[in-house]
Amino acid sequence: MKTFQETITEVNELVTDSFKQLSEVNTRAYDSIVKGQTEIATLCVRTGVKQLELARDAKDVPAFLKAQKELTTEFAEDLIKYAQSAVELATSSRDDLFGLIESSVKGVAKIYPMPETKAA
Protein backbone atom coordinates (compact mmCIF):
# COMPACT_ATOMS: atom_id res chain seq x y z
CA MET A 1 0.00 0.00 0.00
CA LYS A 2 1.23 3.48 -0.88
CA THR A 3 2.02 6.02 1.75
CA PHE A 4 0.17 9.31 1.87
CA GLN A 5 3.32 11.09 0.69
CA GLU A 6 3.68 8.76 -2.32
CA THR A 7 0.04 9.32 -3.26
CA ILE A 8 0.37 13.09 -3.01
CA THR A 9 3.54 12.96 -5.12
CA GLU A 10 1.73 10.96 -7.82
CA VAL A 11 -1.20 13.39 -7.79
CA ASN A 12 1.15 16.36 -8.07
CA GLU A 13 2.97 14.75 -11.01
CA LEU A 14 -0.34 14.00 -12.73
CA VAL A 15 -1.59 17.56 -12.24
CA THR A 16 1.72 19.04 -13.40
CA ASP A 17 1.76 16.87 -16.53
CA SER A 18 -1.88 17.73 -17.27
CA PHE A 19 -1.24 21.46 -16.96
CA LYS A 20 1.84 21.17 -19.15
CA GLN A 21 -0.16 19.36 -21.84
CA LEU A 22 -2.99 21.89 -21.55
CA SER A 23 -0.50 24.74 -21.93
CA GLU A 24 0.88 23.10 -25.07
CA VAL A 25 -2.62 22.75 -26.55
CA ASN A 26 -3.40 26.38 -25.72
CA THR A 27 -0.10 27.62 -27.11
CA ARG A 28 -0.60 25.78 -30.40
CA ALA A 29 -4.11 27.20 -30.70
CA TYR A 30 -2.97 30.72 -29.80
CA ASP A 31 -0.11 30.63 -32.32
CA SER A 32 -2.45 29.43 -35.04
CA ILE A 33 -5.05 32.08 -34.24
CA VAL A 34 -2.50 34.91 -34.20
CA LYS A 35 -1.03 33.72 -37.50
CA GLY A 36 -4.49 33.56 -39.07
CA GLN A 37 -5.47 37.01 -37.79
CA THR A 38 -2.26 38.49 -39.13
CA GLU A 39 -2.85 36.89 -42.52
CA ILE A 40 -6.45 38.16 -42.58
CA ALA A 41 -5.34 41.69 -41.69
CA THR A 42 -2.75 41.54 -44.48
CA LEU A 43 -5.41 40.27 -46.87
CA CYS A 44 -7.71 43.16 -45.93
CA VAL A 45 -4.98 45.73 -46.55
CA ARG A 46 -4.01 44.18 -49.89
CA THR A 47 -7.65 44.04 -50.96
CA GLY A 48 -8.11 47.69 -49.95
CA VAL A 49 -5.08 48.71 -52.01
CA LYS A 50 -6.35 46.72 -55.00
CA GLN A 51 -9.73 48.38 -54.59
CA LEU A 52 -8.14 51.82 -54.71
CA GLU A 53 -6.15 50.81 -57.79
CA LEU A 54 -9.36 49.60 -59.44
CA ALA A 55 -11.05 52.92 -58.74
CA ARG A 56 -8.05 54.81 -60.08
CA ASP A 57 -7.63 52.71 -63.23
CA ALA A 58 -11.27 52.07 -64.13
CA LYS A 59 -12.27 53.26 -67.60
CA ASP A 60 -15.94 53.46 -66.74
CA VAL A 61 -18.45 52.42 -64.07
CA PRO A 62 -19.35 49.02 -65.61
CA ALA A 63 -15.66 48.05 -65.85
CA PHE A 64 -15.11 49.16 -62.26
CA LEU A 65 -18.11 47.18 -61.02
CA LYS A 66 -16.98 44.07 -62.89
CA ALA A 67 -13.47 44.30 -61.43
CA GLN A 68 -14.94 45.05 -58.00
CA LYS A 69 -17.09 41.91 -58.23
CA GLU A 70 -14.05 39.78 -59.11
CA LEU A 71 -12.03 41.28 -56.25
CA THR A 72 -14.86 40.71 -53.80
CA THR A 73 -15.23 37.09 -54.92
CA GLU A 74 -11.49 36.50 -54.52
CA PHE A 75 -11.53 38.13 -51.08
CA ALA A 76 -14.52 36.02 -49.95
CA GLU A 77 -12.86 32.81 -51.16
CA ASP A 78 -9.72 33.66 -49.19
CA LEU A 79 -11.78 34.37 -46.07
CA ILE A 80 -13.55 31.03 -46.46
CA LYS A 81 -10.14 29.31 -46.44
CA TYR A 82 -9.34 31.00 -43.14
CA ALA A 83 -12.72 30.02 -41.73
CA GLN A 84 -12.05 26.40 -42.72
CA SER A 85 -8.66 26.60 -40.99
CA ALA A 86 -10.40 27.90 -37.85
CA VAL A 87 -12.81 24.95 -37.90
CA GLU A 88 -9.89 22.54 -38.33
CA LEU A 89 -8.11 24.22 -35.40
CA ALA A 90 -11.21 23.94 -33.21
CA THR A 91 -11.59 20.26 -34.12
CA SER A 92 -7.93 19.54 -33.47
CA SER A 93 -7.98 21.41 -30.16
CA ARG A 94 -11.13 19.59 -29.10
CA ASP A 95 -9.51 16.24 -29.89
CA ASP A 96 -6.38 17.23 -27.99
CA LEU A 97 -8.42 18.31 -24.97
CA PHE A 98 -10.52 15.13 -24.98
CA GLY A 99 -7.31 13.10 -25.14
CA LEU A 100 -5.92 15.09 -22.22
CA ILE A 101 -9.08 14.51 -20.18
CA GLU A 102 -9.04 10.81 -20.97
CA SER A 103 -5.40 10.39 -19.97
CA SER A 104 -5.98 12.41 -16.79
CA VAL A 105 -8.95 10.26 -15.81
CA LYS A 106 -6.89 7.13 -16.41
CA GLY A 107 -4.10 8.59 -14.32
CA VAL A 108 -6.47 9.32 -11.46
CA ALA A 109 -7.90 5.80 -11.74
CA LYS A 110 -4.39 4.38 -11.33
CA ILE A 111 -3.78 6.47 -8.23
CA TYR A 112 -7.23 5.93 -6.75
CA PRO A 113 -8.50 2.61 -8.11
CA MET A 114 -12.23 2.04 -7.86
CA PRO A 115 -13.20 -0.71 -5.43
CA GLU A 116 -14.55 -3.81 -7.03
CA THR A 117 -18.30 -4.17 -6.76
CA LYS A 118 -19.98 -7.49 -6.22
CA ALA A 119 -22.57 -8.55 -8.74
CA ALA A 120 -26.05 -8.88 -7.29
Proportion of the chain in helix, strand, coil states, percent, rounded to 5:
90, 0, 10
So where are the chain's domains?
Answer: 4-109
pLDDT (tens digit, 9 = 90+) per residue, 85-119? 999 999 999 999 999 999 988 988 888 887 777 76
- pLDDT for the residue numbered 119: 65
Q: Is the distance from CB of 111 to CB of 14 less than 8 angstroms? A: yes
- pLDDT for the residue numbered 102: 93
- pLDDT for the residue numbered 120: 60
pLDDT (tens digit, 9 = 90+) per residue, 10-69? 989 999 999 999 999 999 999 999 999 999 999 999 999 999 999 999 999 999 999 999
